[in-house]
Amino acid sequence: MVGTTDKLKIQRDSYMASARIVVAYAVFALLWIVLSDQALMLMFDEPATLVKASIIKGWAFVLVTAALLFFLVFRLVSRIKLASENDRRQRLRKAREFRAHSERVHAQLEQRVAMRTAELTAANQELDAFAYAVSHDLRAPLRAMSGFSEALIEDHASQLDDEARQYLDQIIIASGKMNELIDGILVLSRSTRGELQRQDVNLSEIARQQIDRLLRAGTDRETEVEIEPDLIVKADPATIEAVVNNLIDNAWKYTRNTSKPRISFKTGLLDEAPAFCVEDNGAGFDMAHADKLFKAFQRLHRQDEFPGTGIGLATVDRIIKRHGGRIEANASAGQGARFCFTLPQGDSEEQTE
């Protein structure tokens, strides 16, 4: 596109070229008239001859000025065509240079993509090997420790004093916690792998089913539950179910010591964006430590207060980010907590960390 400066330059050059033609024509015409009239008066005395000579001079003036205008216009047009041709060649040269540059750049991008793909493939293979080692190599010794401890209690209970039995009980409990931790690590590793299959998912049904499972677990607690109906989103069913279940489980766990526990799952806002919120009136936490919430193995409560592995919210955070959303928490100690997350409903690309 032609800029303002270029337009002004073109106009100025056009004015100057036109002025040169007009000035040249005017000077030639003035000189012709003055000099030719003087010459005719010196050459002819008879009026009739002077008239004929003036007529011939007029035709000559027309022919000569036509030739002069032709020369000036031809010169101007030639310069315009030459400038246009030079401009066209320059544009073609720049276009060839741009295409050539775009093809080095394209090759570099393809090479970088190939390298990045190879790196990701290698990383996924290492993650697969790690998951296999965790699920097989670590579980075997845990099962052995727990099994031998239980066998020792069953077969040699009469030979063990109370302190020895307590030690064995702690080994069994620790083995169970380690097994839960392994399960959590595997879930966390799978949360960033595989392709997301986006389809309509009813989050309300997932929340209701999880509440029903918790109620059937044998507890006699009375909990006020509010679930907004038909909260339907476009998301990956398996991973988004893990998000809702984790948040509902947390709300259930941290309201177990509350006299009148209350849990809700409904729509809300997160920085003016539509969001889905799980809220409870349980133990809550100090927001000064909120930066630890979504980091693996970080917990805000002691194990003897509320047991857990510290992996659930880290898994939730990664799944939400893969969907292109985000999650935030607000709470105060002893006053409950509120977790809100967004899920973009356009054709957003999968986000990875």
Task: Establish if 74 belongs to a structural domain.
Answer: yes
Task: Establish if 140 belongs to a structural domain.
Answer: yes
Residue partners of 229: CB distance under 8 A and separation at least 6: 204
Q: Give the count of beta carbons closer than 10 Å to the beta carbon of residue 294.
A: 19
What is the Cα–Cα distance from 295 to 353, expressed in whole angstroms? 13
**What is the model's pLDDT at position 348?**
45
What is the Cα–Cα distance from 225 to 262, expressed in whole angstroms? 6
Task: Give per-residue pLDDT as tens, 282-318.
Answer: 888 888 777 777 776 566 655 555 556 667 888 888 8
Host H or E run for residue 12: helix 4-43
Closest to 228 measured CA to CA, from 256, 193, 263, 187:
263
What is the Cα–Cα distance from 318 to 326, expressed in whole angstroms? 9
What is the Cα–Cα distance from 292 to 279, expressed in whole angstroms? 19
Task: Establish if 353 belongs to a structural domain.
Answer: no
Host H or E run for residue 264: strand 262-270
Same domain, yes or no: 76 and 144: yes
Low-confidence ranges of the chain (pLDDT < 50): 1-2, 347-353
Number of domains forming the structure of the chain: 2
Same domain, yes or no: 137 and 216: no
Same domain, yes or no: 66 and 34: yes
- Domain termination site, one of 167, 190, 213: 190
Task: Establish if 290 belongs to a structural domain.
Answer: yes
**What is the model's pLDDT at position 266?**
94
Task: Establish if 113 belongs to a structural domain.
Answer: yes
Residue showing tokens 């010459």: 39
**What is the model's pLDDT at position 208?**
94
Same domain, yes or no: 240 and 330: yes
Same domain, yes or no: 168 and 128: yes
Question: Quick one: tokens of 339?
Answer: 């977790």
Same domain, yes or no: 186 and 226: no
**What is the model's pLDDT at position 232?**
93
Task: Establish if 350 belongs to a structural domain.
Answer: no
Same domain, yes or no: 64 and 132: yes
pTM over cut 0.85: no
Q: Where are the alpha helices (DSSP H) in 195-236?
A: 203-215
**Residue 160 structural domain:** 1-190
Task: Give per-residue pLDDT as tens, 320-336.
Answer: 998 899 999 888 888 88
Any idea what the CATH number is for the domain that residue 270 is in?
Answer: 3.30.565.10
Chain center to CA of 270: 18
Q: For residue 4, which phi and psi values (nearest 5 degrees)?
A: -60, -40
What is the Cα–Cα distance from 151 to 66, expressed in whole angstroms? 122
Task: Establish if 102 belongs to a structural domain.
Answer: yes
Closest to 209 measured CA to CA, from 248, 261, 239, 183:
248
Same domain, yes or no: 215 and 184: no
In the chain, the amino acid numbered 346 is G
Q: What are residue 270's DSSP bridge partners?
A: 273
Q: What are the angstrom distances between the C-alpha of 133 and each of 11, 128, 136, 186, 297?
A: 77, 9, 5, 10, 19
DSSP state of 114: H
Q: Give the count of beta carbons closer than 10 Å to the beta carbon of residue 4.
A: 7
**What is the model's pLDDT at position 353?**
45
Same domain, yes or no: 24 and 121: yes
Same domain, yes or no: 240 and 224: yes
- Domain termination site, one of 190, 223, 243: 190
Same domain, yes or no: 186 and 205: no
**What is the model's pLDDT at position 81?**
77
- C-beta of residue 275 within 8 angstroms of C-beta of residue 228: no
Task: Establish if 352 belongs to a structural domain.
Answer: no
- Domain termination site, one of 190, 216, 242: 190
Task: Give per-residue pLDDT as tens, 210-227.
Answer: 998 888 876 667 889 999
Same domain, yes or no: 35 and 89: yes
